Amino acid sequence: MLNNYFNINHPLRPYTHSLPATPGTVPPPNALRDSAPPTAPEGFWPGESGGVWVNIEDHRGEEGYVNGEPFTITDFGPYPQGWSTEPPAPPEPTDEEKYNAEREAVRRKYESPFDGVQEGILFSLNMRYTSALMAGKGQNELGAIALEKEQASAAMAQEYDAIDHKYLGGE
């Protein structure tokens, strides 16, 4: 003969443990005698209701989000209001973040992300110019490459100006 105990102070009265009953006594108010709790299916736990065992939801240990905030379920019962297993969408970037990202994209297009060492369009033109100079190419070829460098620098400045105008306004 067993007393099968439940948490009388919890609103769902979940099963807690079983102990041998003392013969000739009545079960305490927080136990059912000779009525073993059911084997609950996954996601449930036995609980007492009206003198009988029922299955109550058990999501303890599950991790997710409540209204977009990280949350770990620690108690019996249904999922909390606002529950989701999907992380919230990242916040929309601010105008300042967009501005900085666009300027960085232009910088990377023309220059290097490594301490000002050029590797983009301007790097390529500098390499061509240096190679032509070392190969003893004529002024016409060197002048053409120098003009391309000037045009690339001007294009970079125009892209920066367009971004500045887009986010900062002005002329």
pLDDT of residue 34: 78
Question: What is the pTM assigned to this prediction?
Answer: 0.57
- pLDDT attached to residue 100: 94
The residues that bridge with 54 in the sheet, in sequence order, are 47
End-to-end CA distance of the chain: 90
What distance in Å separates the CA atoms of residue 145 and residue 151, rounded to the nearest whole number?
10
**b (16+ CB within 10 A) / e for 103-124:** eeebbeebbeeeeeeeebbbee
Q: What is the mean pLDDT of each run of 10 residues along the chain (171 residues)?
A: 95 96 93 89 96 96 96 97 94 93 86 56 75 82 83 88 87 54
- What is the reported pLDDT for 119? 61
Q: Where are the domains of the chain?
A: 2-57, 61-88, 95-168
CA distance 28 to 121: 84
